């Protein structure tokens, strides 16, 4: 098993190219199930979750050709409709195949998902919406069994709470449904927006793209011709490297980045003292001499993203004063706290609120990654810790960050991947 060894240093300098967004790639790969043609996708990140989903599609009978940052997915050869536990257990996003398989074939079996243990992420909202569209749903022996022998029917769906994967799943299900489907309280994340835009460009008429109310006009079972497209830049990867610049008080330039997707992160970093130079597809962080404390509340897009909470907690350990971080989306997303405390961080928890007292001197030690974003928080802390930090269980990190250690090495970090 691999681990990362990081020697704390004073500053970084250089340019980092941001990869395609993992969280946009996954639903868009699942979307190829709706296509009658071979789908060409560019700017894919080289991360474990992408390979897992492509393996799942291959097991269902699809042909997937993945080279560099491009993939060609041919789903006309799909001949299985059961997504088995051995793959789904490793990645919660595998549930994204439920909607497109069901709407295309009228039946499917998908194992209940696994993945990061950051809290409950139930799929009941997905299942309730599919039932409203006419599906018969049963859960047996750890599998969701869904049937819609006469196809799914368009209807009005109101999500009780915002769900990103739920919105994506129902968009894809509605694409081949009979009639019109309206989703109220839909997620507005850029990754959901791109899914809508690609389908819209492929002949699926979708109204309200980018808003909380989406209307999808289904094709009544007719497969679509999906044009070649490129994955949007990864806003969470970009936010993580901006935090690397802020915590090490370094000037870093990020390229291939969409700053419109980073408004909440940029605003919070400016509040903490950083300054930015922004062009059409690049952003340079100019850090301040002192890091100011802040208050972070995680909420759905366009508010501050939960996927940046851990990174900002690491940054807050170096702020001059007390920061408050409130996690409103996942009840178990503070598992990185104990590992940061091992490094010397002064953090106290009260339910879903963390109080971070800074500035503290962090010391290198052995720490363990507990989930994807917690991994990156430990990397940030290690960059400014005295001595050497060994970060174990980085398979979590590999699920969502493309070549993190290489990108950091290129800007001067003393980081290397080793074997246990």
DSSP string, 216-281: EE--TT--B-PPPEEPPB-HHHHHHHHHHHHHTT-EEEEES--GGGGHHHHHHHHHTT-EEEE-SS
- Residue 318: pLDDT above 50? yes
The residue behind tokens 């949007």 is: 232
Q: Which residue has the tokens 């001949």?
A: 79
Whether residue 345 has pLDDT greater than 90 = yes
pLDDT in tens, 99-125: 999 999 999 999 887 544 433 446 889
Classify 9 as helix, strand or coil.
Answer: coil
- pTM of the shown model: 0.95
Q: How does residue 57 score in pLDDT terms, banded at 50, 70 and 90?
A: very high
116 included as an active-site residue: yes
Contact 401, 376 (CB under 8 A): yes
Q: How far apart are CA 362 and CA 248, in angstroms?
A: 13
Residue matched to tokens 């080289």: 46
The pLDDT of residue 333 is 76
Cα–Cα distance for residue pair 148/106, rounded to 1 Å? 5
Considering 64, 108, 116, 243, which one is annotated as catalytic? 116
Dist. CA 212–CA 123, nearest whole Å: 19
% of the chain surpassing 70 pLDDT = 97
What mean pLDDT do residues 295-320 have?
Answer: 97
């Amino acid at each position: 098993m691999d681990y990362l060894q990081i020697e704390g240093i004073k500053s970084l300098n250089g340019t980092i190219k941001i990869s395609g967004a993992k969280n946009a790639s996954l639903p868009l790969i699942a979307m190829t199930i709706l296509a009658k043609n071979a789908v060409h996708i560019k700017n894919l990140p080289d991360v474990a979750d992408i390979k897992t989903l492509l393996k799942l599609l291959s097991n269902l009978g699809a042909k997937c050709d993945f080279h560099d940052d491009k993939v060609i997915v041919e789903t006309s050869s799909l001949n299985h409709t059961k997504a088995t536990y051995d793959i789904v257990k490793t990645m919660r996003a595998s549930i994204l195949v439920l909607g497109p398989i069901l709407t295309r074939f009228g039946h499917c079996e998908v194992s209940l998902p696994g993945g990061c243990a950051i809290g409950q992420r139930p799929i009941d909202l997905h299942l309730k919406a599919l039932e409203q569209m006419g599906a018969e749903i049963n859960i047996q022996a750890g599998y969701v069994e869904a049937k819609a022998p006469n196809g799914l029917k368009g209807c009005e769906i109101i999500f009780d709470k915002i769900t990103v994967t739920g919105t994506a799943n129902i968009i894809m299900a509605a694409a081949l449904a009979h009639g019109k489907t309206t989703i109220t309280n839909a997620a507005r994340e850029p990754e959901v927006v791109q899914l809508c835009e690609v389908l819209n460009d492929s002949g699926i008429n979708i109204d309200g793209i980018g808003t909380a109310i989406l209307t999808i006009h289904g094709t009544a079972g007719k497969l679509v011709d999906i044009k070649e497209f490129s994955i949007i830049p990864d806003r969470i990867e970009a936010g993580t490297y901006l935090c690397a610049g802020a915590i090490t008080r370094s000037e870093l330039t990020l390229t291939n980045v969409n700053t419109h997707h980073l408004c909440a992160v940029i605003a919070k970093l400016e509040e903490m003292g950083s300054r930015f130079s922004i062009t059409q597809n690049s952003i340079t962080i100019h850090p301040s001499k002192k890091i100011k404390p802040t208050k972070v509340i995680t909420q759905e897009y366009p508010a501050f993203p939960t996927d940046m909470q851990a990174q900002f907690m690491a940054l807050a350990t170096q702020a001059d004063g007390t920061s408050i971080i409130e996690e409103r989306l996942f009840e178990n997303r503070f598992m990185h706290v104990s590992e940061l405390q091992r490094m010397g961080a002064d953090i106290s928890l009260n339910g879903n609120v963390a109080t971070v007292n800074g500035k503290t001197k962090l010391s290198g030690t052995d720490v363990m990654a507990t989930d994807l974003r917690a991994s990156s928080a430990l990397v940030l802390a290690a960059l400014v810790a005295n001595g050497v930090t060994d970060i174990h269980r980085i398979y979590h990190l590999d699920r969502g960050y493309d070549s993190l250690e290489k990108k950091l090495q290129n800007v001067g970090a003393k980081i290397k991947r080793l074997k246990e």
